[in-house]
Structure 1
Amino acid sequence: MTTDPWGRVDDDGTVYVRTSEGERVVGSWQAGAPEEALAFFRRKYDALVTEVELLERRLSTTDLSAAQALSSVEKLRAAVTDAHAIGDLDALSRRLDELTARAEERKVEQKHAQEQARHEARDIKERIVAEAERVAEETTHWKSGGERMRQLIEEWKAAPRADRATEQGLWKRMSSARNAFSKRRKAYFAGLDEQREQVRAEKEKIVAEAEAVSDSTDWGPTAGHYRDLMQQWKASGRADRASEDRLWQRFKAAQDRFFQARNAVFAERDAELRVNAEAKEKLLEEAQRELLPVSDPRDARARLRDYQERWEAAGTLPRDSRDRLEGAFRKIEDAVRKAEDQEWQRTNPEARARAEATVSQLRDSIDQLEGRLEKARAAGNDRKAREAEDALTARRSWLNEAEKALEEMS
């Protein structure tokens, strides 16, 4: 009989392994020496040891899941329990017990990590859903809102998963928000289409009016009518782009037709009025030379009436010189009128009487203040003396101005 610390080969070739529970048969060897049998069954044990060591390394150095680890341990335990091998099978069982304990710890850790991940996933998707609901309820910028809603759907897909019940509840809210946004956008554009159709119909009427008067020769009222139509066009809003462009081209063509015809008539009329402008240019130069500056308001008024009659007789001015020439002639009229006003003020008896009374009152006041000043100095009252001097200075200044005004009336 051949023996080993962990097993033996009986004389009849039966191979045994020793365990804490006693010996058990692991095989029969008839093909060679007993030592060869022991070596053969030790190699089987070494193979089991290699598998256990490999599982230990995987559990220590990889993210092997607890479920996979426990499954692998159970398979190895069954292999060790029924192993046809010679070696310290009890030691292997103890190592498998340690692996089971470590796998159970990992199971707890992984469960905690999963719960934490689900909690974080729930928070992420809660934020996504809340923003989607805000976009659905508040936004009126449909293009950017639609783009943001699509981005939120992609963020939802990329986000980690929460537990099933939470996922279903949040997705229901997400789907409702997307549908609500689509419904609001559809309703808005439906209303916008209706509004644009109303605008199109209104602008059709405006264009029809513009085209109806495009050949009018009633220049002033028709030009005013076109201004009114333009204000109506601007106030009516915008139709769809195609209708807007088409109607505007028609409106502009009608307007251009009228104003081009009017401008041609006015240009011809202005050409006929050039002779009037030349006559008034000469008349203006003569009036400026003869009347300005005004030295005798009565004479200037009499001569101005003659110039005014000649000005009116010279006829209508062309548009491009009307404002300039009429404005220059009004300045001459204003200068004569101002000179007349000043002359009237200068010779007005009532104004002169008021000016003389003012001068007299100021002189009396100065005489009184001079007397008060002498008394204050004689009494040695410096304060009253200073007050009298200040009052005298002011009154003398006023008297000087009043005497100048009175002198101008003389």
Structure 2
Amino acid sequence: MRVAMIGTGYVGLVSGACFADFGHTVCCIDKDQTKIDGLKVGKMPIYEPGLEQLVAQNVREGRLSFAVEANEAVRNADAVFIAVGTPSRRGDGHADLSYVYAAAAEIADLMEGFTVVVTKSTVPVGTGDEIERIIRERRPDAQFAVVSNPEFLREGAAINDFKRPDRVVVGTNDDKARQVMTELYRPLNLNETLILFTSRRTSELIKYAANAFLAMKITFINEIADLCEAIDADVQQVAKGIGLDNRIGSKFLHAGPGYGGSCFPKDTLALVRTAADAGAPLQLIETTVKVNDTRKKAMAGKVADAMAGELKGKIIGVLGVTFKPNTDDMRDAPSLDIIPALQAMGATVQAFDPEGHEARQMLKDVDFKPGPYEAVEGADCVVIITEWDQFRALDLDRVKLLMNRPVIVDLRNIYRPDDMKIRGFQYTSVGRP
């Protein structure tokens, strides 16, 4: 089938490359000429394991292309996906849908024949109705259907998530659109993937509800971690004990400095605003948002406690600044709260992250180092914020020799307290004795 993908951000580029790898003909479109020029020569605008190779292969085999102008791609498409950004709107927390509606207007002016217009972007309930209104107003004669098809991609594992998903959710009541969407995802039949067809509004809500639930689950275990520290219990054992209950499950029960990234912060906030506008407030999610915001800011206090409250003039080595490993995404990363707070208490920060290039513009007065051992050298305390694999098996004897003082604050519980004690470290973790 012929697919036009409007937007070459995280969702659009990964989805476009994967659809092309399924055998469809895909054109990814973006107004950013520099980004498109880079993609044409194999330069990825984001870091995602395996994406560069996947894009290169499908470009080479003629199934994937890139363009600034949408004209030809949209005119020829069986399905046009809207995969543009929906950031939180300044001032009120609602999702900013201006890019979505601009894409809808452009599609309306260009499409020919029956076209399925698919919202891949995460959008509030009712957005599909507005997209349909915009298109119908501009093209009363057009034959089209607006479909919701939310993404459930984890950064760092997005290609596998697209090709081997738990489920595919499609919101439409149009029979022709259903046929098109079924054909697009037909390659997943081999894996017996469930394609869940719902109404459009239900599909839009599923995405927000899923992210809000996972954010709530993370926040729950983080609060349990605080209780564990107060009563001398082990949050990892608690998580294992409750996670073995298949009604609860073990995923997203890892205590840490709070959630960040491109989805959970903005989606929980947008859902809260949507619910308030509908007169059905979601108090659990409202509390989740508040607790998570407070937690990220409080993590610097944990470092201060490990240093007996004395951070002025001290050197803090930070390992990991992206919001999670295997991504270069800095959106709402805990490091953006923790590092400035440490600096405000008088500390000097030196840091390393394998892919945290964007952090150099976002974090001021941080000495970025070329590797983990350079980041710990001369440090009075080392803080592990992101659990990159290369931090899991550091040469701890070397780390101890390089540090000014053997103090480690592990916000991801990578190491075992007993092992660290034997090696002579003053070690602080999250929710463990």
What TM-score do the two structures reach when normalised by structure 2? 0.21
Greater share of residues in helix: 1
Higher Cα radius of gyration: 1
Relative contact order higher in (CA < 8 Å, ≥ 6 apart) = 2
